[in-house]
Chain A
Amino acid sequence: MSEGGKFEDNSCGEVPPEEARRQADRLKKKISDICVKCRTEKSTLLFRKESICWPCYEDQIIRKFKTQLNATRKNKSQLEKVLIAFSGGPSSRALIHILNECILGRSNQASAFFEIGGIIHIDESGVTKPETAEEKEKLAQVAASYNIPYHSVPFGSIFNDSENPTQETNREKIEKLMQGCTTNTTREDIIFHMRNLLIANTARTLGYEKVLFGTSASRMATTLISLVCKGRGYNVAQEIGNNDTKYGDVQFGYPMRDFLGKEVSVYNHHKHLEDVFLPSLDTKTSDPKFSIDHLTESFIEGLQVDFSHTVHTLLRSSVKLTMPKIDQPMTCSICAASLLPSTTSQSIGGEGKEDSCCGENGCGGEEWLVVVANISDYVCGGCHRVMNEISPQVLPPYVQHNADRNGRSSRLRSQIEDYLLDDGE
């Protein structure tokens, strides 16, 4: 039995989709060659079912961008110096251009509130095939063409540990990290979180309080579903919300979140903005079940083709999901998500009996079981699943440091617990 209801619920007075399409077609025929916005130019593009001219398209993009950009502002009276995260992809490529344009002249408002301090790129050589000299040059060139300082940070620096330097190179450690994961889902999952952590840490070191990401609506929607599927539903707001507090003093913002991937492509094409294609783990796969991220991406893409409101509906859902208010939360040792008080990672995930080892043969002896227990006690629900699919010894040292710190503070807390006044609900 299932809880009734279905998507195409036309009973509530909404116009059925076919009807809407017919209306749009009729509309299109009527004004097929005149832009519906300015009503003077010839229309050449279709934007959200309206045929418009290029200047009006650009105008729409800038307008929607500014709305989203404004939504990321925390302190409304201050000028914010931002760092832009640049993956090389079309959406973050467009972000650099649009933000720069907004600040340089098209909008006095943006220039009064924002200043681009730098561009950061995480060089994932080793996770995937190493970046070529040509690719490195292209990436740096993008920043240079806007006169913006460029920081390329190697992914391997996530392993940097001033206390215990080792002989192994970071590249070797990345290799071990990738080999130590038993699933592609976990590989992608930890790369995502460690990349974000690196960006946040670098931003903090460089003195930034805000990083802007080029994440598009399509990507956001995919991320929402894949987070939920990976047991990270509680942290949706922290991962893809504006005004998140995941990394404490460094805030992530997503001003491109209103745009579909193809809308960005159209913009980049007209503006001759070239992105730098860098392969990801699933670039070459033909297996639809390569990973949860990969599967989710094709699921949402497929739905979007048949139901064009899919992505934007998901975005509306995502903004309604929040983190519960937690006073001085402990944070996940791996991904920095807030841990829920009074619930262990087990009950966050809602799954029982995950504490025992992975159950596969050859998963090691007691030595590392001690380490597992330690880290596993201080990870979020999503990372708890990660722990089932990774050999803990390949994790970067920061994870153990965080777990130790969490352990100390929870021991301290338990000692003084009786004297703490409960001001919660």
Chain B
Amino acid sequence: MKECTRCKTGRAVVKRPKTAEMMCKPCFYHVFEEEIHQTIVDNKLFKAGDRVAIAASGGKDSTVLAEVMTTLNQRYNYGLDLFLLSVDEGITGYRDDSLETVKRNQEQYKIPLKIVSYEELYGWTMDAIVAKIGLKNNCTFCGVFRRQALDRGAMLLKADKIVTGHNADDIAETVLLNLLRGDISRLTRCTSITTGTEDALPRMKPFKYTYEKEIVMYAYFKKLDYFSTECIYSPNAYRGYARNFLKDLEAIRPSSIIGENLHIQQETLSKIPEQGKCSRCNYISSNPVCKACILLDSLNRGMPKIEIADEGEKVEKEVVPTSVHKTINF
């Protein structure tokens, strides 16, 4: 029997990918959760009384996120008002099942669940979008819409912050993709542990230093209920290349890319346009009209029956003025 290197009594059942330590189950849970707690404390991610939306997709990251957030909130009396927030993209067979998982999570963790759908926010389901434009650029739509949908949903529910399950591997992938597409402003945003602190809802990434493999191990040993299918519309050439590369990279040297180790030129940063508001939907945008509205416009142009202005105004009225949600980080 291999002995746990931490407690010296338990039977080691895992070799931590992060440190190569042999550990028993309880010790693994403990260090896994404690590291995340430490990240939360060190980076002052929350304050007592915060209303926090847990971005819940039903996938492993967000399921583990819900588990760890509720656990730590109780263990350390964070005093957070937690709820699950899901986005229904309207992809038959994909979201239907994953939303079932999220609904079970809601019962398990006894925290409320709110689902916002693309259909109610934008007037389009992803299925309808794909039917319209084919599989070519659907991930652009999905990505842009999802980013806003979370914010809009969270604002509707008067959340102060959003937590997402982005882990170290996700961040590595995003770093790589942003370097490859020369997107420096997003490169800065994707590596910081909190984003959107100005006008948008702050987004927290407590898993920033957590390895994906450990999240999988945690979910596996805890027998967490999660849904594990890639988005059926997801595969795209560039991201595929990047993922394979990162996988091989990890085989050579475990978790090589750490998002934080980049420094962006100051002048470049100041050149990034100031975040204003979209004139159509009032959502935070660096351009007069936000990306979602531009995409919607291009979608709707082919379908004269749906008027973009109406949709925009409708959404605008629903969105709570963002200034109310300005949160001061301590």
Determine the residue in chain B with the shortest Cβ distance to A318: B179
Judged by a CB distance under 8 angstroms, whether B40 is at the interface is no
Interface residues in B248-272 (C-beta closer than 8 Å to A): 248-249, 251-253, 255-266, 268
Closest Cβ of chain B: how far from A424's Cβ, in Å?
Answer: 14
Inside 8 A of A7's CB, which chain B residues have their CB? 177, 180-181, 236-239
- The answer to the question of B143 belonging to the interface, with a C-beta cut-off of 8 Å to chain A, is yes
Q: Are A323 and B263 in contact (CB under 8 A)?
A: yes
- Assess whether B140 is interfacial by the CB under 8 Å rule: yes
Name the CB-closest residue of B to A360: B20
| B166-183 interface with A by 8 A CB criterion | 166, 170, 173-183
Q: How far is the CA of A2 from the CA of B62 in the complex (A)?
A: 11
Q: How far is the CA of A295 from the CA of B139 in the complex (A)?
A: 27
The digit string for A170-206, where 1 denotes a CB below 8 A from any CB of B, is: 0000000000000101000000000000000000000
CB of B280 to closest CB in A, whole Å:
15
For the complex, is A234 an interface residue (Cβ under 8 Å from B)? yes
When C-beta atoms are compared, the residue in chain A nearest to B174 turns out to be A3
Q: Are B248 and A225 in contact (CB under 8 A)?
A: no
- Min Cβ gap A21→B in Å is 15
- Chain A residues near B146 (CB-CB < 8 A): 4
B61 within 8 A of A: yes
Among candidates B170, B237, B248, residue contacting A288 with C-beta atoms closer than 8 Å: B248
User: Among B69-77, B116-124, B290-298, B319-327, which stretch is in contact with chain A?
Assistant: B290-298
B253 touches A185 (CB 8 A): yes
One of A4, A225, A323 near B176 (C-beta < 8 A): A225
* Contact digits for B200-243, partner A, Cβ 8 Å, 1 yes 0 no: 00000000010000000000000000000000000011110100
The listed residue (B59, B181, B268) touching A1 by CB distance below 8 A is B59
Taking a contact as CB atoms under 8 Å apart, the answer to whether A313 and B182 are in contact is: yes
Q: Are B61 and A1 in contact (CB under 8 A)?
A: yes
Contact across chains for B262 and A321 when beta carbons are under 8 A apart:
yes
Name the A residues within 8 Å of B166 (CB-CB): 1-3
How far, in whole Å, are A183 and B166 apart by their CA atoms in the complex? 30
Q: Are A10 and B137 in contact (CB under 8 A)?
A: yes
> How far apart sit A314 and B176, CA to CA, in the bound complex (Å)?
10
Chain A CB within 8 A of B184 CB: yes
Residues of B within 8 A of A11 (CB): 137, 140, 144, 291, 294-295, 298
**Interchain nearest-CB distance for B209 vs A (Å):** 7
Binary A-proximity of B14-37 (CB < 8 A = 1, otherwise 0) = 000011110000000000000100
Residue in B21, B184, B238, B252 whose beta carbon sits within 8 Å of that of A320 in the complex: B184
Distance, CA A225 to CA B147, complexed state (A) = 27
Decide yes or no whether B142 CB sits under 8 A from chain A: yes
Chain A nearest CB from B20 CB (Å) reads 5
CB pair A350–B180 under 8 Å, yes or no, is: no
A8 touching B238 by the CB < 8 A rule? yes
Which residues of A lie under 8 Å from residue B294 when comparing CB positions? Answer: 11
> Do B256 and A322 have beta carbons less than 8 Å apart?
no
Complex-state Cα separation, A302 to B248, whole angstroms: 15
Chain A residues within 8 Å of B57, by CB? 1
- Do B261 and A322 have beta carbons less than 8 Å apart? no
**Contact residues, A1-38 vs B (CB, 8 A):** 1-11
Q: Are A289 and B238 in contact, with the CB atoms below 8 A?
A: no
Task: Select from chain A the residue with minimum beta-carbon distance to B181.
Answer: A7
Taking CB atoms, residues of chain A closer than 8 Å to B164 are 1
Q: Which residues of B contact A289 (CB under 8 A)?
A: 248, 251-252
Check A295–B257 contact: CB distance below 8 A: no
Contact check, B143 vs A6: say whether CB atoms are below 8 A apart.
Answer: yes
Whether B180 lies near A229 (C-beta < 8 A) is: no
Q: Which stretch in A96-104, A253-261, A303-311, A405-413 binds the other chain?
A: A303-311
**Residue of A10, A183, A233, A291 with most partner-chain B CB within 10 A:** A233
Whole-angstrom distance between the Cβ of B101 and the nearest chain A Cβ: 14
Q: How many angstroms from the CA of A233 to the CA of B190 in the assembled complex?
A: 15
Smallest distance from the beta carbon of B118 to chain A beta carbons, Å? 13
Q: Does B155 contact A (CB under 8 A)?
A: no
Find chain B residues with CB under 8 A from A230 CB: 253, 256
Bound CA span A7–B186, Å: 13
CA distance A296 to B244 in the complex (A): 11
User: Are A10 and B253 in contact, CB atoms less than 8 angstroms apart?
Assistant: no
Residues of A within 8 A of B190 (CB): 3
Q: Is the CB of A292 within 8 A of B249?
A: yes
Decide: A316 near B182, CB < 8 A? Known: A228-B261, A233-B261, A353-B19. Answer: yes
Whether the Cβ atoms of A10 and B258 lie closer than 8 Å is no
Chain B residue at smallest Cβ distance from A294: B252
- Whether A349 is near chain B, meaning CB under 8 Å from some CB there, is yes
Q: Which residue of A lies closest to B38 (CB)?
A: A352
B145 to chain A: closest residue by CB: A4
Q: Which residues of B contact A310 (CB under 8 A)?
A: 180
Q: What is the 8 Å Cβ interface bit string for chain A, positions 378-397, against chain B (1 contact, 0 not)?
A: 00010001000000000000
- A249 located at the interface, meaning its Cβ lies under 8 Å from any Cβ of chain B in the complex: no
Determine if B82 is an interface residue (Cβ-Cβ < 8 Å): no
CB neighbours of A277 from chain B (8 A): none
Given contacts A5-B186, A11-B291, A224-B179, contact A234 B261 (CB under 8 A): yes
Output the nearest chain B residue to A3 by Cβ-Cβ distance: B174
- Does A324 touch B at the CB level, under 8 Å? yes
A359 at the interface (CB under 8 A from B): yes
Once the chains are docked, how many angstroms separate the CA of A349 from the CA of B184?
A: 21
Return B326 CB to nearest CB of chain A, in Å: 23
Give A366 to B321 CA distance when docked, in angstroms. 62
Q: Which chain B residue lies CB-closest to A233? A: B261
Known: A310-B180, A316-B182. 16 other contacts (CB 8 A): A1-B164, A5-B143, A6-B140, A6-B238, A7-B181, A7-B238, A9-B181, A11-B295, A230-B256, A232-B261, A233-B262, A234-B263, A236-B262, A288-B248, A291-B252, A314-B182
User: Can you show 18 pairs from A to B with CB atoms below 8 A apart?
Assistant: A2-B174, A3-B166, A4-B142, A5-B143, A6-B140, A7-B181, A7-B238, A8-B236, A8-B237, A224-B179, A225-B176, A228-B176, A228-B261, A231-B256, A233-B257, A233-B261, A319-B265, A324-B263
Give B residues with C-beta under 8 Å from A: 18-21, 35, 55, 57, 59, 61-62, 137, 139-140, 142-144, 146-147, 164-166, 170, 173-184, 186-187, 190, 209, 236-239, 241, 245, 248-249, 251-253, 255-266, 268, 291, 294-295, 298
In the complex, the 9 A-B pairs of residues with the closest C-beta atoms, listed nearest first: A4-B143, A233-B261, A7-B238, A350-B258, A233-B262, A322-B265, A313-B182, A320-B268, A229-B256
